[in-house]
Amino acid sequence: MRKFPVRLILVLFMLGILSADLSAQTTSQSFEISMISKKFVLVPVKTGAPKTYITVNIDGVMQHEFEVELAAENPDFYATLEVGQWMGKKLSLTAEKVTPDSKWLTLTQTSNELADGPSVYKEELRPQFHFAPRRGWTNDPNGLVFFKGTYHLFFQHNPWGTAWGNMTWGHAVSKDLLHWNEGPDAVLPDKNGVVFSGSAVVDWNNTSGLQTKPVKDKAGKITNPPIVLFHTSIGADRGKGEACQSMNYSIDEGKTWINYPGNPVVPHLIGGNRDPKVFWFSEKQKDSNPKNGHWVMALYLDGQDYALFSSANLINWDKVCDIKNVGCSECPDMFELPVDGNKQNSRWVFWGGDGKYLIGSFNGKEFTKESGPFTTKYGGNDYAAQSYSDIPAADGRRIQFSWMAGGEYPKMPFNQQFTVPRNMTLRTTTDGIRLFIEPAKELELLRITKANSFSAKLQGMENPLKVPALNGDLLDIEMVLDINMPETSDTTVVINTEIFGQKISYNLGNRKIDLGGVKAPLNPIDHKIKLRIITDRTSIELFANDGIVQIAKCFVNKDKVPANMIISGLKDFADVKLKSYQLKSVWGNKQ
């Protein structure tokens, strides 16, 4: 046996003593308010600082706890804890492990305003029209629901740091899917655990009975129905508990949220069961009469398996159907769409977290697969998409957001962003019925310039075309490549486009489009390739041939590369027609 040198043993011994000594120097400290008089407590955060748990106690009763990189001095940003619901009561925030020299107690503040600071929405890498949280980490979009003219967006949120953790539901609202007003977090960790992904619905007929004081109009319609959120609770007792499905609700149009006292509404079943997607089903389309329909919950179970559950009241659920081998895991979505806009010919889409989907039929209990799985995702930064519920019939769209997973935002007080809002349709192709994804029409509201038109013939790889008059980094570009070769050609002919240093190429030989190494199959249609390219400060989104292919990709423009769009390819191989629009920031005068 090899012997350790005596000197090394002494060093290890001393390190052990030092470690024990440092541990002994940390103490529990409490920030206390004898009577809460302001809405928020602003807690100092320092990225990279030692983590500690902080327990929230009201009148001596624990409400919840969170883990935070607590700033001893010079905080990077302040995180917001809402305490307004406990006005007049005693507050105690107890930090479990704090060094004696920490100044966190004097740094912690109370306020009637969220912890914005002068730099919020003005950060160098802040997306200008893609949603990103005011502060902290985000991942999956959750609880997308439309109610009385307002789009509600909930999102996986760590308000206490820029890395994943402390999963809560953040909350923002918008009138146009672009300009978001972010409020306090809506759903916080509780005795059942942290808050993973889920969905939201409007209970128009109060089937749940959660609205105890319903108000009806002259036609007998409830004007103040509850909005109900479903999420996975997971890891009670600091990560030791199993996953189950819980419910929160609002009876004041989404201003405040109540934790349903009977949680969980679906206990742990198997594996990582999570991410409930709830919707109303009626054999008669758009019929919300509770006598003619019921609620359905799509739930991920384990592996590549999902299940459907049924309920009359959103509270009691029974399993009715298994959906196996979807080709991916997590984050189900399920919805009906007309094929080619024909409402008399519709299909159901069952969607998984990785963008794979099945097409089939659904009778309220059984989903019958007709084709798939197909995919909308070939790589890049795109995961855990979810679509809106309760979009008015007069609109009729299926609007979706997706998490642009894996983006980098160095030294920013926020982390991660979503895609632009996208509209989904089913269309008939030569390969069968497929899902198409395009930017929602609202994006065009951000165009601040008339179309900059450009057309030319390709002049060879060594003579790239330079697109003029591209200004700024917020762009919406529509481009058509009119190919002058037979579509049956197997010649390896490549068209290259470069913008902000990000390369897009199309190879006629293998019929693939490539955005920064993310490749997807794409066939010309009537000798044409249509591209829609949308750029923001840290991202580029590509939609090809009306959305049969979409690729979302994040990047960091470290060298401040300007737009400088160039297009090159075999001489006379294709005619290029292009329209570009400069977009405005959604932050207006704040930017």
Residue pair 44/117 in contact by the 8 Å Cβ criterion: no
Phi, psi (degrees; rounded to nearest 5) at 43: -105, 130
If one counts every other C-beta atom within 10 angstroms of the C-beta of residue 576, the result is 19
CA 170/CA 17 separation, integer angstroms: 43
Q: 267: cis peptide before it, omega within 30°?
A: no
CA 127/CA 290 separation, integer angstroms: 42
CA 115/CA 130 separation, integer angstroms: 21
Query: Which strands form 305-311's sheet, in the order they lie side by side?
Result: 274-282, 293-302, 305-311, 318-323
Catalytic: 490?
no
Pairing of strands 414-415, 136-147: parallel
Find residue 540's DSSP bridge partners: 535, 553
Task: Indicate the Cα dihedral angle 468, 471, 474, 475, nearest 10°.
Answer: -20
Distance of alpha carbon 273 from the chain centroid = 20
Query: Which of 473, 548, 470 lies closest to 511 in space, CA to CA?
Result: 548
**What type of residue sits at position 458?**
L
Q: What is the DSSP letter of 86?
A: G
CA 130/CA 538 separation, integer angstroms: 9
What is the per-residue burial (b if ≥16 Cβ within 10 Å, else e) of 379-405?
ebbbbbbbbbbbbeeeeebbbbbbbbb
Region at 327 (left for phi over 0; alpha for psi -120 to 50; beta for the rest): left
Residue pair 231/280 in contact by the 8 Å Cβ criterion: no
Query: Which of 297, 314, 317 lies closest to 306 in space, CA to CA?
Result: 297
E strands, 105-211, are: 109-111, 136-147, 150-158, 168-174, 181-182, 193-202
Query: Which of 429, 418, 298 lies closest to 371 in space, CA to CA?
Result: 429
Long-range Cβ pairs for the range 56-65 (8 Å, 24+):
56/81, 56/91, 56/92, 56/93, 57/91, 57/92, 57/93, 57/94, 58/83, 58/86, 58/89, 58/90, 58/91, 58/92, 59/89, 59/90, 60/90, 60/92, 64/188, 64/189, 64/190, 65/189
Please tell me which residue in 76, 140, 185, 275 is annotated as part of the active site.
140
Q: What is the DSSP letter of 418?
A: B
Q: CA separation (Å) from 341 to 344, 345, 397, 427?
A: 9, 8, 11, 8
Does residue 367 sit in helix, strand or coil?
Answer: strand
Q: Give the residue numbers annotated as catalytic, written as ranges.
A: 140
